[in-house]
Amino acid sequence: MQHNRVFARLEDVSLSYGSKVVLRHCSLDIVEDAITCIIGLSGAGKSTILRLLNGLRKPDSGRVIVDGIDIGTLSPRELIEFRRSIGFSFQFAALFDSLTIFENVALPLREHTRLPEEEIRKRVRAALEGVGLADVEDRLPAELSGGMLKRAGFARAVITNPKLVLYDEPTTGLDPIITHVLTDTIIRLRDRLKGTAVVVSHDLESIYRMGDYIGMLFEGAIIAYGTVGELRKSTNPIVQQFLQGSEVGPIPVG
């Protein structure tokens, strides 16, 4: 698969929450039409990268560029407009309990477009079908399993045909079969949208299946980046320890 153009990039980004340094001179390229996976220890700042890419956080220094736009320069109103081109699938699906699955998925269309009801219905049905949930539109979130909720969250994230979709821990806490289904769904959605995706995950098997590129975040910076094959062959002892899940190595355990 030949990917060239960089769709989004973090350039020398540093960010702290109070006294806690989360990112330190972090740079990362997100290649267009590819799935880039970000791996790293818990609390390493992987989800923060997603929040930087959709403008929910601003870096203390450095630049975040998405589709040619330095999003640090946008006004609040421009930022809202910009976010319409980005889909975000939250770790816990973040659906509204009181709304049906149909209404949850329709929400971005109702908020950001003036489409007629007929067209909204058509698009929501297509989105739910696209994630294998054709028959749940009238149910409430509480009536769905964890894996179905995640897929409903995916449908909502892609309903506006975004250029970039961000997935935060899409398979955490789910069994291997559902994990497989979700991984395949992310691949299918990328192919259908012909878009770019960034996935934060701990699930190496899933990453090896769907990732075109992987970046490993460690102590605030991307310390390794490449294709799945390149990363698995990395000679960096930190990368190898992480990929093998070994207690022995430079990453302290405990």
3 has a pLDDT exceeding 60: no
Find the mean pLDDT for residues 99-123. 90
1 has a pLDDT exceeding 50: no
Give the predicted TM-score (pTM) of the model: 0.90
254 has a pLDDT exceeding 70: no
Q: Which residue has the tokens 């490449």?
A: 226
2 has a pLDDT exceeding 90: no
**So what's the pLDDT on residue 98?**
92
**So what's the pLDDT on residue 88?**
87
Encode pLDDT of 127-149 as tens digits: 998 888 888 989 999 999 888 88
Per-residue confidence at 200, pLDDT binned at 50, 70, 90?
Answer: very high
**So what's the pLDDT on residue 150?**
86
DSSP single-letter state for residue 185: H
Range scoring the smallest mean pLDDT among 15-19, 110-114, 162-166:
110-114
Sign of the torsion angle spanned by Cα atoms 129, 130, 133, 138:
negative
Find the mean pLDDT for residues 196-211. 91
Q: Which residue has the tokens 């899933």?
A: 206
DSSP single-letter state for residue 63: E
Q: Which domains does the chain have, with CATH numbers?
A: 1-85+165-230 (3.40.50.300), 92-161 (no CATH)
**So what's the pLDDT on residue 146?**
82
Find the mean pLDDT for residues 205-220. 92
Per-residue confidence at 44, pLDDT binned at 50, 70, 90?
Answer: confident
Encode pLDDT of 102-112 as tens digits: 999 999 888 87
**So what's the pLDDT on residue 39?**
92
Find the mean pLDDT for residues 85-103. 86
Q: What are phi and psi of 131, to 5 degrees?
A: -110, 15
215 has a pLDDT exceeding 90: yes
Q: Which residues of 220-247 are buried (b: 16+ CB within 10 A; e: fewer)?
A: bbbbbbeebeebeebeeebbbbbbeeee
Cα of first residue to Cα of last residue in the chain, in angstroms, is 40
